[in-house]
Amino acid sequence: AAAGAGSGGSGGAAGAYVPPHLRGAAAKPRAAAVDQAAQRQLRGVMNRTTEGNLDPSARELSAILNKLVPEAGSASAAEALMRVLLPAAVGDPNISVLVLGCHAALATSAHLLFGAAFGAAALLQAGERLRSRLAAAEAEGEPTGEDARVARGCITFCALLFSFGLLPGSVIFDLVRFIFEDGRVSEVRIELALTVLRYAGRTLRGDCPEDFKETLAFVGAAAAGAREGEAPEGSEIRTRVDYLLRELQDLKNNKVSFAVMDRFDAIRSWLKTAPQLGGKKVADHQLTVPFRFLQEQPPAGWPLGAAALAGLGAKRGGAASAGASSKGDPLRAQAVAQRLSTELRQSLFVALMGAEDFEHASQRLSTVAAGAKAGTEEASLVVFHCAVREKAPNPFYAHVAAALCARPSPWGKRFAHSMKRAAVQQLQQAHGYGVRATVNLAELCAALVADPGAALPLAVVRFVRFGEAAAAAKGGGSGKALGGVLGLLLRHFVESVLQRLADADAATATFQPLQRYEDVREGMLLVLDGHVQPRLPPKGQAPLLWEKLRAARRTLSAPARE
């Protein structure tokens, strides 16, 4: 009775009835509270970050983002993080440059682990803060004031992201063009240019020689023009312009000491060796910036193809809205034509097929998948869907699948499990495939078997429906089945697995689980003896391949271990 009274009341207590038209409004305070709680956690990490506890701060940040990204999405999580990280890094004009470097390293680690949205948010928010603080410093006319020092901190932050390998050299050239835009030269702007050269000059010279030359030429032209026009002899600005010109000359002659950058060696070493980063190289995940920073707006969908994510944030509008949206998006129209009926699958298709390379594809798929409960399962199905429809086996999809399975925990494990389920589903349908799709499926499954991250068990072949294939062959029996499409599938699958495995020990470990399934074990022996062995090159030409074949056959012939 008490429970019934509570549920029937109209107050705001827990368990109270809320009319349907008011439930959305009632949920908003809770969502805001969750967001505030996440912001407090992130702010706590930033406040505790120093050069002495960078590693524990990064682990704590990773734990927070592991929960925040699936709930809010990468873009929202990145915006929330940078709203906290940037004020902590550059908001205090008296902050130690090493602490600023630690915050830049945290932004870099978030970019590596959770996608390019974090690097993009760091770059854009730093640019907006620089723009506003530079305007305020110019209005004050005080090169050592708070606004000028915060603007210098923004420049240092971007230069360190570049020196760590996160940003391309074009961003540094864009920074210089922004500093001296329209030929404006002042003491504040000269100090900013010197900061760019101090913290980005060494990496720019060594890794981006073309951008280095363009930067020196542009700064030199701006400084020379100011010296001739706006900097009278004996003035303070003339002194700073002359100093800048001397620095440029020393840079050209390689006489400048970049000892200040040696202070960040420990941070660079951490970025290379931190266990939670999984050995990822920052340079391999460099943020692509296909626009002029601080002068042009980012293109639509940058950095992860927001067009692929648009369906997740939009209201479900049924077939009419899906058709309307596909007209302006050829990839989405192609997804509809291939009978990918749900918005999630269409968005995953666009994310996969619109990517620049397999790393970009894995980032885009992870971002889309994070916004849906069944995201990893659907993403894995879309990878297989696209792979089997290629005209020839394309290793791109195997690399994408491996990259997804190598994502940080827990996402990597979820993708690995989902890839196994997707492989099982495809193998169950393989009896109805054509030759091209069969070979493509065999190649992708073999790649996942050989990849230690995906670790697809060879025993998935037990889910192949030999009975239906035999019935389709109108003769019955496994012999007929192995002579048709499924024979081609198993032959190509086993051949590819043997070719991909490193040695005989790897072959033994891969085939050993089949000992537990008597019918599968006997069937695989038939495949090895009747389909694979006759197609092998002579033993003298491929001794390692024959050694792996013998190891596999020996393993399948041995009695099962109890």
In our burial notation (b when 16+ CB lie closer than 10 A, e otherwise), range 344-357 reads: bbbbbbbbbbbbee
pLDDT at 325 over 50: no
Distance of CA 349 to the CA centre of its chain: 16
pLDDT in tens, 365-400: 988 888 788 889 999 999 999 999 998 899 999 999
* pTM attached to this predicted model: 0.55
CA distance 439 to 226: 67
| Angle, CA 466 vertex, CA 464 and CA 469 arms, to 5° | 115
Query: Which tokens is 365 given?
Result: 């798929």
Region of residue 342 (left: phi > 0; alpha: psi -120 to 50; beta: else): beta
In our burial notation (b when 16+ CB lie closer than 10 A, e otherwise), range 166-190 reads: bbbbbbbbbbbbbbbeeeebbbbbb
CA distance 397 to 404: 10
Burial of 2 (0-12, 13-18, 19+ CB in 10 A): exposed
Radius of gyration of the chain (CA): 30
Q: Give mean pLDDT, residues 357-364.
A: 88
Query: Which tokens is 442 given?
Result: 């065999």
pLDDT at 27 over 60: no
CA distance 310 to 343: 10
User: What is the reported pLDDT for 521?
Assistant: 84
pLDDT at 435 over 60: yes
Please, what is the average pLDDT of the chain?
82
